[in-house]
Structure 1
């Protein structure tokens, strides 16, 4: 993780720890809850910071858009006086297991067990379900900073081996899926937030925000979002792609019809199933040749690479056409290309293989500097396309808000 960004998050957490006891519990008066997010340079994962327990202690968690709940390694020696194990035969245990494919039976006088999953490696284990206090920042443009503490927040402990593959220093994962005990679901019910959350990822400082995003991002931007139906399968979020265009030219996928695209924060680059990637790759190379781009040897993990000289920011535009020709997610510039050396840039789209679970997986790079609003209540996804084209970034909204005193 970049040292400046990591220090910013540590500073934010330190302030939150120092002053949490002096701020009131806001409850329903809070407009939103915000978690700062930094990109880890080594793993390309997005790491959020949350403070939990009594006394409060910060924990770095890898953001998992399709995760069922928050889980962490509890064997760090930190003892929280507000932590409590959840009994097996309880309402909270039933809530936690509602979307669980494992056993939903309960045994009296035993603790509740769930199945934390590492969305990066696919590893899973058994973990005890607990409740504890978490603290979140709830600043808006009209008030000074205040800290909201949420009691009885549910999360799972997990064995240390489940941390394999996560960013250095990460203690677990922050699940943002639709499950009833995911972070957005719990905060929506605990502090009376709308049933939606926003994601603004960045190569520097971004954010996960639950509730109303107007206070941070402003109504001018939030009201300009374009919406497309959000398909939710278990805990994963999908959108339907009717077609793909490169520089305005529509690709033919031989009668495949609409393509489901899963959104993922644990996949750094967009992946396409092999047959789709082959068509995409051929069309992209033709479009690049038409723009006098010189193809060079691929650099792992990328196959489509080009000479950087003379290219600048002019690269083929990729459009994901959604429910109509008027609704499209445009991917261009920094969202489509990765500079791997002083002489070479590569397309940040990879072949996912023939066994890819979804025809398209939209990865983190393609979601960066793009405000995404997941409206769970109405099953709609709002998106801004690149904020860079609007002359701004995700981090600039945080700097312009009252949050600048924390980050």
Structure 2
């Protein structure tokens, strides 16, 4: 009985306005744009009655969809609360709840009509609230339901202007992606293509709308997702065994173990302080050998150079190439100038890797800037991540992919 209820609780169907998404029976595609003031990546969802559209920030490491429901122009007449004593509440809380305490509360009549409160987090600022209320609402055409959390307005602080919440894309039970996979009965696969302008995110089987797109998929290299024993850690991470700069292996004082998290909310790749110090020293040595002139750093970057005299190519400035070596020496993620150098002024460019502090949650976080114009595919069924070379090497860009 519980198993049947649990299955029904997850039978949520989702679609978007036809001008905002491109849906096949095997996939769902959303457009993605970049907000340059915050370096966040946004998409649009439409929901409620009457239907209203809103921007949401994409978070690869987020565990749920949360929204500022109070910001709607008109309150939704179809929004329905999820109660504390429901199977859906237990499912949504997942590993954060002590099951025996939840079961004992079923006998308490005071809890009968209490809302299901879910912890929601602004992954940009790190602010968390425990009073977010789990609800469901019609998404479009008055027939599709989506489970999400209504959170306080102040949780929007730090998000891009007009953004009304965050879309969580990890593998947890009620993340946006998990609901899409289950309700549309599609492959548990996310394909992401970001750019400095526009891009796409697709759920399910990737569809090829052009010969160029089809060819790019043939260049994907695959590496395993890190298996995390902690059930609360559901973000996508890969193992980085070593790092090379212009083909020379960097010597690190601190092991690189623990996995490198893929992130769409961290603008630039962050490294634990000891790792960053070794990396910066090695990069500076390689840059100096190419006659690059160091200048004063520009926050948040620690290593900056004169732009004058640095040549360019189809993959960006001619600067040292960074290779993230994965499960073997034959499998590497190459980062060229387009994804390693940030132009901060007409005369200065900075290395887009920053010091993440002494004790970060993840020793390496691969940021959004490094993901741009790289096709990334996360397959939760096979626990693999596929990534392409920089699309610039193929004379293409993620802005070429249209929903």
How does the TM-score come out when normalised to structure 1? 0.85
State the SS of the aligned residue for 1:171: strand
How many residues align? The count is 367
CA-CA distance at 1:68 after TM superposition: 0.8
State the SS of the aligned residue for 1:59: strand
CA distance in 1, matches of 2:81, 2:88: 11
Q: Is the 8 A contact 1:193 1:211 kept in 2?
A: yes
CA-CA distance at 1:385 after TM superposition: 2.6
Give the aligned partner of residue 139 of structure 1.
none
State the SS of the aligned residue for 1:155: strand
CA distance in 2, matches of 1:223, 1:199: 16
Q: Deviations over 1:301-323 (max 9, x none)?
A: 11111110121320000000000
96-105 vs 56-65, which moves further: 96-105
Change (3 A) 1:101 1:164: farther
Alignment counterpart, residue 213 of structure 1, candidates 206, 209, 222: 206
Query: 1:236 and 2:235 equivalent?
Result: yes
231-240 vs 366-375, which moves further: 231-240
CA-CA distance at 1:207 after TM superposition: 1.7
Query: 1:78 and 2:78 equivalent?
Result: no
Query: 1:165 and 2:158 equivalent?
Result: yes
Query: 1:134 and 2:139 equivalent?
Result: yes
Query: 1:378 and 2:377 equivalent?
Result: no
Q: Is the 8 A contact 1:150 1:190 kept in 2?
A: no
Q: Is the 8 A contact 1:117 1:124 kept in 2?
A: yes
Query: 1:246 and 2:212 equivalent?
Result: no
Query: 1:34 and 2:6 equivalent?
Result: no
CA-CA distance at 1:258 after TM superposition: 3.8
Give the aligned partner of residue 94 of structure 1.
90
CA distance in 1, matches of 2:120, 2:253: 39
Structural RMSD (CA): 2.2
CA-CA distance at 1:151 after TM superposition: 2.0
**What pairs with 1:278-297 in structure 2 (closer than 5 Å)?**
278-297=277-296
Q: Is the 8 A contact 1:35 1:50 kept in 2?
A: no
CA distance in 2, matches of 1:366, 1:100: 32
CA distance in 2, matches of 1:253, 1:352: 16
Q: Is the 8 A contact 1:269 1:348 kept in 2?
A: yes
Q: Deviations over 1:231-274 (max 9, x none)?
A: 25422111110100000000112472645211111110011111
Query: 1:275 and 2:274 equivalent?
Result: yes
CA-CA distance at 1:152 after TM superposition: 2.4
CA distance in 2, matches of 1:357, 1:175: 18
Give the aligned partner of residue 346 of structure 2.
342
CA distance in 2, matches of 1:257, 1:269: 18
Q: Is the 8 A contact 2:90 2:97 kept in 1?
A: no
CA distance in 1, matches of 2:256, 2:68: 43
CA distance in 2, matches of 1:52, 1:354: 42
Question: For structure 2, which runs of at least 5 residues remain unmatched after alignment?
Answer: 1-15, 106-110, 312-316
**What pairs with 1:8-407 in structure 2 (closer than 5 Å)?**
16=19, 30-76=25-71, 77-100=73-96, 105=102, 107-125=111-129, 126-135=131-140, 151-216=144-209, 218-231=213-226, 233=228, 234-254=233-253, 256=255, 258=257, 260-312=259-311, 313-398=317-402, 403=403
Change (3 A) 1:164 1:252: same
State the SS of the aligned residue for 2:70: coil
Q: Deviations over 1:264-308 (max 9, x none)?
A: 111100111111111111110110011111111111111111110
Give the aligned partner of residue 141 of structure 1.
none
Q: Deviations over 1:137-182 (max 9, x none)?
A: xxxxxxxxxxx98722100000001001111111010100111111
Q: Is the 8 A contact 2:26 2:187 kept in 1?
A: no
Q: Is the 8 A contact 1:272 1:360 kept in 2?
A: yes
CA-CA distance at 1:378 after TM superposition: 1.2
CA distance in 2, matches of 1:393, 1:100: 40
Question: For structure 1, which runs of at least 5 residues remain unmatched after alignment?
Answer: 1-12, 136-147
Give the aligned partner of residue 142 of structure 1.
none
203-212 vs 256-265, which moves further: 256-265
Change (3 A) 1:393 1:150: farther
CA distance in 2, matches of 1:32, 1:344: 42
